[in-house]
Structure 1
Amino acid sequence: MPPNGALLKPFLVPRTVGSDSHQNIQDFVRQHFQALGWHFETDRFQRDTVIGKKVFTNLIATANPFAKQRIILCAHYDSKIDFMDGSQKVTNFVGATDSAWPCALLLELAASLPRGSDDLTIQMVFFDGEESFLDWSRSDSLYGANHLAHVWSGSAQSHQRLDKIKYMMLLDLLGAPSPKFYSFFQDTAPVFQKLALAESDARRKGLLRTPRRLFITEQSIMGRQHGHYYVEDDHVPFSMRNVPIVHIIPTPFPSVWHKKHDDVTALDPDTCHDLALIIHTVIHRELAA
């Protein structure tokens, strides 16, 4: 997917919770999935935050809501409000890697992947309120993920029950050049291995554009050690409820993380192309198996 693609452009704006552009994104995502004929729903709720009451809206699209099991692909669509980067105040933060391009990738995958079968389908979740309003803490972050995990914990609907999730693949901070990805969780190490093998196959066939490996298998970083999650993100409330997690986030973070210049210029077309191809390959094989 080119970094200036039609599916990406609507996300390349500040998308702070409650703003007009935040609402525009909700409309854009809904229209995309309705055009594809997917089942679309929202999880809308109000929360007290460190800067007052806010209304959040998680967006959920399911290819086949009647399937026995589902793979979830997800990202957050909100962007960070004005913040300080050292002595400089960052305003109108776009967050191209965080997470405009991951969201655009989900839309592209939805349009190009098969819907699966009655045994296994794909679901996509766009989390709201991942970013903190002031300083990251357990009470000021992951608003949407925390709420949705709680709601789904008590759901009786088959397309929402947590025990029907084969695994959740969370995409974050993607699109910058030269990322390195590691396996954080032992129970989903086989899925990570499939990503690495898909990359190797594509490189051997000359289908990739980047010069260095993206998915590193020589090291495995255990995500949960003595109750600690290696990278806190929207997966945490689901992992705490025993949902298998594949966390696709570069380690270390891209240099543009929470910087003013995390805009379209931060996106590397070759990296975007290769990540889209690799993830598409693995999920397509899962759904077609």
Structure 2
Amino acid sequence: MNSRPLYILYTLQILLLVSVSRAYNDISDESLRAIPRPGPDFDIKDGKILAPILRPRVPGSEGSTAVRNHFIDFFRNDLPQWKVTFQNSTSKTPVTGDDEIPFINVITTRDPPWSNPGEVGYLTLVAHYDSKISPDGFIGATDSAAPCAMLMHAARTLDGALTRKWASMREAGIKQDDYDMGLEEHKGIQIILLDGEEAFGTWTATDSIYGSRSLASEMESTFHPALSTYRNALSSIHLFMLLDLLGEGSPAPTVPSYFKTTHWAYQKMATLEDRLRGQSLFTSSPNHPSKRGTLSQGVSKDNKAKLKRKEPKWFYDLDKSNNRWMGGMIEDDHLPFMARGVDILHVIPAPFPTVWHKEVDDGEHLDMDTVGDWTVLVTAFAAEWLELEGHMDKKSTDKRAIGDKHAQEIISKTEL
């Protein structure tokens, strides 16, 4: 039997899927306005999402188990259509002697209907949930309790939009054959909450990123059925977007574009940031109505323009030139995935927050306007990548925003 035509068709299908992975349309201003802010769920004392994470959670500890159970309960109770799985490993550390410390990664996914194993390409949103063993009682609010909460809130917002999108596709007569022939792309969402990012002693290649090293290796060896679009679990990741050290507001965070291969995604983030600021949807902005107060009341249009303050840019590297890609890179959970060829968008400020690895990296030192803005921005990026335009639910997001006052009015970790 001559299998060459089938092979050519299969190859063309893969090339089509790869080519369209970046060719998605911009989300509308209306959809951006429909993205809810976290509101009371991010209250640091009793917020449903954030508060349970703001505690010491060293791998293998009672706090780690409690926070992991918080994730499990959230997805199983609030988002039952998401699949929750775990990836386990153990390792000795330089400070725990012969004891094998457990590391448990939490992987949550939502796949489109009619999809088969090995056919779904993922936007993979990632943060680590463990906290540093020292100083004693370290919370790690920016590092990375707040990023974990951001991803949970994003998952809840995206969930309803995905349900509506896939229901409308079914009503429009999209069939399994359309996917099989590459006429429609299987796009899914994957959220990974990693354990064991922090070093127990001093950051080295072996004393750090315990969970991500184990997970990347296992995903590489987890193969899909023959003739699947994606050979293994690792190749299913279209983009690995890692959030870390987010939540400090002053000084304003600045995030470089670290990798040329994902500068397109960085540019998407920069453009969305600019659009959100332009619509007064960033409450940390010095020009947001809540910050300007009564300064502009009764002032002429020309004088109002003069009162406008300089707008920060988190993603300032939008126009990075082709000859500036040999700069610094920060060691983090992405390394084992990048070494295996996964595209990485590393969303981590440089310089690091002033609270980095200090006792004051706690809930009280989070800037909640900044935390909310990061949550909206990440959600907007994911909604755009998943092509959810027209499926964001304004009514339900308005209800969720009730209680949010604003809805109503390189270094050692390591730098190379």
Fold shared per TM-score above 0.5: yes
- Alpha carbons 1:96, 1:262 under 8 Å: kept: yes
Alignment of 1:210-229 (within 5 A): 210-211=285-286, 212-218=312-318, 220=320, 225=326
Q: CA deviation at 1:220?
A: 4.3
Match of 2:130 among 72, 78, 88: 78
Which whole-Å deviations, capped at 9, do the CAs of 1:232-274 have from their partners, x for residues lacking one?
Answer: 0000000010100000101100000000100012211111121
Change (3 A) 1:33 1:146: same
Which residue is 2:239 aligned to? Answer: 167
Q: Which has the higher helix share?
A: 2
Match of 2:102 among 55, 58, 69: 55
Question: Does 1:140 pair with 2:207?
Answer: yes
TM-score (norm 2): 0.64
Match of 2:65 among 23, 26, 32: 23
Query: How far apart are the structure 1 equivalents of 2:234 and 2:325?
Result: 19
Which residue is 1:111 aligned to? Answer: 156
The one-letter amino acid of 1:73's match is L
- Alpha carbons 1:76, 1:99 under 8 Å: kept: yes
Question: Does 1:259 pair with 2:358?
Answer: yes
Q: CA deviation at 1:161?
A: 1.4
The one-letter amino acid of 1:69's match is G
Query: How far apart are the structure 2 equivalents of 1:72 and 1:127?
Result: 12
Change (3 A) 1:258 1:160: farther
Which whole-Å deviations, capped at 9, do the CAs of 1:193-241 have from their partners, x for residues lacking one?
Answer: 111111111111111122322111256499985xx97100000000010
- Alpha carbons 1:130, 1:143 under 8 Å: kept: yes
- Root mean square deviation of aligned Cα: 2.2
Change (3 A) 1:138 1:180: same
Task: Pick which of 9-18 and 110-119 moved more.
Answer: 110-119
Which residue is 1:278 aligned to? Answer: 377
Alignment of 1:109-258 (within 5 A): 109-113=154-158, 114-115=161-162, 119-157=186-224, 161-177=233-249, 178-209=252-283, 210-211=285-286, 212-218=312-318, 220=320, 225=326, 230-258=329-357
Which whole-Å deviations, capped at 9, do the CAs of 1:126-173 have from their partners, x for residues lacking one?
Answer: 110000100000010000000000000111146961111110000000
SS at match of 2:386: helix
Query: How far apart are the structure 2 equivalents of 1:235 and 1:8?
Result: 24
Change (3 A) 1:147 1:223: farther
TM-score (norm 1): 0.91
- Alpha carbons 1:130, 1:144 under 8 Å: kept: yes
- Alpha carbons 1:95, 1:258 under 8 Å: kept: yes
The one-letter amino acid of 2:106's match is L
The one-letter amino acid of 1:237's match is P
Change (3 A) 1:41 1:229: farther
SS at match of 2:374: helix
Question: Does 1:10 pair with 2:110?
Answer: no
**Whose Rg is larger?**
2
Task: Pick which of 31-40 and 243-252 moved more.
Answer: 31-40
The one-letter amino acid of 1:248's match is V
The one-letter amino acid of 1:215's match is F
- Alpha carbons 1:223, 1:230 under 8 Å: kept: no
Which residue is 2:83 aligned to? Answer: 39
Q: CA deviation at 1:188?
A: 0.7
Query: How far apart are the structure 2 equivalents of 1:17 and 1:48?
Result: 12
Which residue is 1:87 aligned to? Answer: none
- Alpha carbons 1:182, 1:219 under 8 Å: kept: no
The one-letter amino acid of 2:137's match is N
Q: How many residues align?
A: 280
Change (3 A) 1:130 1:224: farther
SS at match of 1:285: helix
Match of 1:95 among 131, 134, 140: 140
Query: How far apart are the structure 1 equivalents of 2:244 and 2:317?
Result: 19
Change (3 A) 1:69 1:275: same
Which residue is 1:85 aligned to? Answer: none
Task: Pick which of 54-63 and 112-121 moved more.
Answer: 112-121
The one-letter amino acid of 1:42's match is F
Task: Pick which of 115-124 and 5-14 moved more.
Answer: 115-124
Change (3 A) 1:220 1:132: farther
Q: CA deviation at 1:6?
A: 2.0
Which residue is 1:269 aligned to? Answer: 368
Query: How far apart are the structure 1 equivalents of 2:274 and 2:205?
Result: 38
Quick one: percent identity of the two aligned structures?
36
